[in-house]
Structure 1
Amino acid sequence: MTREAMRRKAKAVPEWLNSPLWSTPPLASTPADPYGTDFSPPPAPSPKPSPSVPPPPMREQAVDSYAGRGGEIREEDGAGAALRAHLLADFKAAVRLSKKVVNMGELRRLACLGVPDGGGTDVRPLVWKLLLGYLPTERSLWPYELEKKRSQYSAYKDEFLLNPSEKLRRIEESKLSRKKELTGERNGLLPSSSENIHVIQESEILEQIDRDVKRTHPDKSFFSAKSNQESLRRILIIFSRLYPSVRYVQGLNEVLAPLFYVLKNDLDTSNSTSAEADTFFCFVELISGFKNNYCKHLDNSRVGIRSILSKLSQLLKKHDEELWRHMEVITKVYPQYYAFRWITLLLTMEFSFNVCIHIWDAMLGDPEGPPDTLLRICCAMLILVRKRLLVGDFTANIQLLQHYPQTNIDHLLHIANRLRGTMPS
């Protein structure tokens, strides 16, 4: 092998990828959990990595020291409590009342480290509203914006929450009225065939939303509460009618769930009582960055889901050509077989609910924006289990990626951070 060929090969597989830090040992066979499995507490620290591999970021110390990766709060040691208190103080300082304008650069930096929760103080609802652009950075505008948006949502409910039979009745009444005005006759007109088709389509969407809402995290009592199910249902119905280009795509309930859960659990009751309205607009802001992924007529375009999957393939090839070649050339495991769900559901089905919220902290806070950050995290998921993928065949690798194993989220986000600034155009 020539020196040039050896140089290219070395470049194709960065040395830091070969560290045992990024490999996940095979797990014992366990029944598949459709919502992911809560992570056990982190294992004992691995041997200190070589100098070529940078240490995990501060986020691992600040977050992992006080919360298990499955979101269960465990007893803190003195150092963990101090780090958590320090991070919480930083967040409070970033949004403190004395500041007229929130420094979004600082807030994003902190969010990427992990938003602290528990302990009687939860800043995540406010942080997410700011990161999603629902609240402006100028604090004096918050009361006005909240009142305006909540009033607007109330108007949306009055306008869009008609069931199809009631809408059909109103159509008939409207046509009857117009007929009487024009001809003076008593008999009305039946709706046109196109109107009938529209009513049938809306009925099918409503049925799908009802089914999906009832299936949303049945293991969590929060989502089993009738009032919360009704809130999810109303948000999804209004969204489907207000944005007909997207309408409702099966699984959007899973994307909505973390937003509603976080905002509904705001310790400020003036906000938690209006969580439905706030969640709707935050949901719209979030989906706006991914909307082309849900438009079927754009699937084969340069902005559709196939193009996004292609970008993931290019990103993997750029950073780990050996793994890319094994996946797509040798075993024919293409991104559409496993990453379609990762991307369209924003990883909500790959990890436990509480862990997903911590991943979203980083995804929403990253200055590159949620779409690019999500792709980097997806690529990092592949790199993190590269050793298992490199020895797997088509069947083994599909099974591994469709039932992603337990992992250390801080390591995952650290790898994703290493891929920053390299997104394919």
Structure 2
Amino acid sequence: MTREAMRRKAKAVPEWLNSPLWSTPPLASTPADPYGTDFSPPPAPSPKPSPSVPPPPMREQAVDSYAGRGGEIREEDGAGAALRAHLLADFKAALSKKVVNMGELRRLACLGVPDGGGTDVRPLVWKLLLGYLPTERSLWPYELEKKRSQYSAYKDEFLLNPSEKLRRIEESKLSRKKELTGERNGLLPRSEVTNEEHPLSFGKSSLWNQYFQESEILEQIDRDVKRTHPDKSFFSAKSNQESLRRILIIFSRLYPSVRYVQGLNEVLAPLFYVLKNDLDTSNSTSAEADTFFCFVELISGFKNNYCKHLDNSLVGIRSILSKLSQLLKKHDEELWRHMEVITKVYPQYYAFRWITLLLTMEFSFNVCIHIWDAMLGDPEGPPDTLLRICCAMLILVRKRLLVGDFTANIQLLQHYPQTNIDHLLHIANRLRGTMPS
């Protein structure tokens, strides 16, 4: 086969990948959709007299006008304020139904959840999207009370030091003994400390031995909590740091297959921030308990990424990185070849952090929250949506990657440049339904 024939046989690069949109900042006006017209905003209607109440915006216009600015609407922007009001009204209507339609809620969440204006629906939306709350509104008080009570029991079980645990165990034993013997008065019998209960015991069932073995994890959690977003006063508050610490300790002890992996504090931070800032004080005061269960629900979808013994399995992190490589090859073979064949820039060099920390370190905190709106709301589920977003991140900087060597590309991807988040999510949406099996 001649070289020319081989070149023709090679997979052609999609025309949209050569669009200058990938390497230039977004223009003030809406650019042409490089994918075609099916996802493009509709043309502006002919001017009409302004009605007293502005009509609801089109969904495509909502994406361009609201999410494109990371959800930050300027006060002087009347159109933006009207759009936010309409979108907020849609969310309130969806959340007020006796049984919340999750399909409708997910569709709205993918547009970005509006905040500000004295109302914030995001805490409730995230609780529903993560499955913490059932869709039936009448069950919410019961579920919240049950889960918050359960978390209180977890604190008693997992946060007490061995001395306190042994004291409570001994009190329980003595109480039962008194009931059996009918003893009502007199001195309590002296208890004996068994070998298993001694602080120097190496027994596997020893509370003290387990406590000392976990001390390294506790120290890591303490270090990570203290350096969680030090630039934000919210995370510098002692009470909030203690809440993060308790959540991570209980999680590590309740789920030993995952335990604590360095960086989980970054994944926990957006959840706690959103729920703690709920304007409903009955919810904000219980944010720690609610955050714990939402965190468990979130991590459950990604838990194989954090289990070291699964790293080389078909479901571990190496397999996930391989899927990202396959996804890129499917949509941009030229970029894939330059990255992995020519410059040897493999996904594990840059995407390991993207995936395990759910993009929390690649974008500003507020932008990350809006990315999570789309990730949690996407009907394909957070794991597949995350991979599509990661692939879109590569496509958006393809021109810089194609001219870069190993060092330049690693630096670019480990310090991802500021980008138009609406554009990024738009590209990720266009990759829908193409995930490798």
Relative to the length of structure 2, the TM-score reads: 0.81
Does the 8 A contact of 2:42 with 2:60 survive in 1? no
Decide which moves more: 69-78 or 107-116: 69-78
Does the 8 A contact of 1:333 with 1:397 survive in 2? yes
Partners of 1:117 and 1:207 in 2: CA distance: 36
Q: CA deviation at 1:294?
A: 0.5
Partners of 1:270 and 1:107 in 2: CA distance: 23
The 1:409–1:25 alpha-carbon spacing in structure 2 relative to 1, beyond 3 Å, is: closer
Does the 8 A contact of 2:13 with 2:334 survive in 1? yes
Partners of 1:360 and 1:61 in 2: CA distance: 20
Partners of 2:50 and 2:9 in 1: CA distance: 21
Partners of 2:404 and 2:298 in 1: CA distance: 36
Decide which moves more: 40-49 or 234-243: 40-49
The 1:320–1:168 alpha-carbon spacing in structure 2 relative to 1, beyond 3 Å, is: farther
Note the residue ranges of structure 1 that are not aligned, 5 or more in a row: none
Q: CA deviation at 1:16?
A: 1.4
Does the 8 A contact of 2:228 with 2:266 survive in 1? yes
Partners of 1:243 and 1:44 in 2: CA distance: 53
Does the 8 A contact of 1:13 with 1:320 survive in 2? yes
Q: CA deviation at 1:102?
A: 0.4
1:128-153: per-residue Cα shift (whole Å, max 9, x none)?
A: 00000000011111111111101111
The 1:146–1:59 alpha-carbon spacing in structure 2 relative to 1, beyond 3 Å, is: same
Does the 8 A contact of 1:235 with 1:276 survive in 2? yes
The 1:247–1:33 alpha-carbon spacing in structure 2 relative to 1, beyond 3 Å, is: farther
Q: CA deviation at 1:74?
A: 2.6
Q: CA deviation at 1:106?
A: 0.5
The 1:224–1:166 alpha-carbon spacing in structure 2 relative to 1, beyond 3 Å, is: same
Partners of 1:200 and 1:220 in 2: CA distance: 33
Does the 8 A contact of 1:208 with 1:250 survive in 2? yes
Does the 8 A contact of 1:40 with 1:68 survive in 2? no
1:284-323: per-residue Cα shift (whole Å, max 9, x none)?
A: 0000000010000110110000000000000000000000
Does the 8 A contact of 1:42 with 1:68 survive in 2? no
Q: CA deviation at 1:200?
A: 2.6
SS at match of 1:397: helix
Q: CA deviation at 1:10?
A: 8.0
Q: CA deviation at 1:100?
A: 1.3
The 1:68–1:409 alpha-carbon spacing in structure 2 relative to 1, beyond 3 Å, is: closer
Partners of 2:173 and 2:147 in 1: CA distance: 34
Q: In angstroms, what is the RMSD of aligned CA positions?
A: 8.4
The 1:254–1:180 alpha-carbon spacing in structure 2 relative to 1, beyond 3 Å, is: same
Does the 8 A contact of 2:56 with 2:86 survive in 1? no
Does the 8 A contact of 1:36 with 1:350 survive in 2? no
Decide which moves more: 320-329 or 166-175: 166-175
SS at match of 1:217: coil
Does the 8 A contact of 1:66 with 1:74 survive in 2? no
1:262-304: per-residue Cα shift (whole Å, max 9, x none)?
A: 0011111111111111000000000000001000011011000
Q: CA deviation at 1:66?
A: 5.9
Note the residue ranges of structure 2 that are not aligned, 5 or more in a row: 190-204
Partners of 1:296 and 1:363 in 2: CA distance: 25
Does the 8 A contact of 2:375 with 2:381 survive in 1? yes
Does the 8 A contact of 1:16 with 1:53 survive in 2? no
Does the 8 A contact of 1:241 with 1:247 survive in 2? yes
Does the 8 A contact of 2:112 with 2:370 survive in 1? yes
* Higher RCO (C-alpha under 8 Å, 6+ residues apart): 1
Q: CA deviation at 1:186?
A: 25
SS at match of 1:12: coil
- Does 2:340 match 1:328? yes
Partners of 2:398 and 2:186 in 1: CA distance: 67
The 1:209–1:242 alpha-carbon spacing in structure 2 relative to 1, beyond 3 Å, is: same
Decide which moves more: 296-305 or 17-26: 17-26
Partners of 1:42 and 1:220 in 2: CA distance: 40
The 1:25–1:153 alpha-carbon spacing in structure 2 relative to 1, beyond 3 Å, is: same
Q: CA deviation at 1:233?
A: 0.6
The 1:362–1:176 alpha-carbon spacing in structure 2 relative to 1, beyond 3 Å, is: same
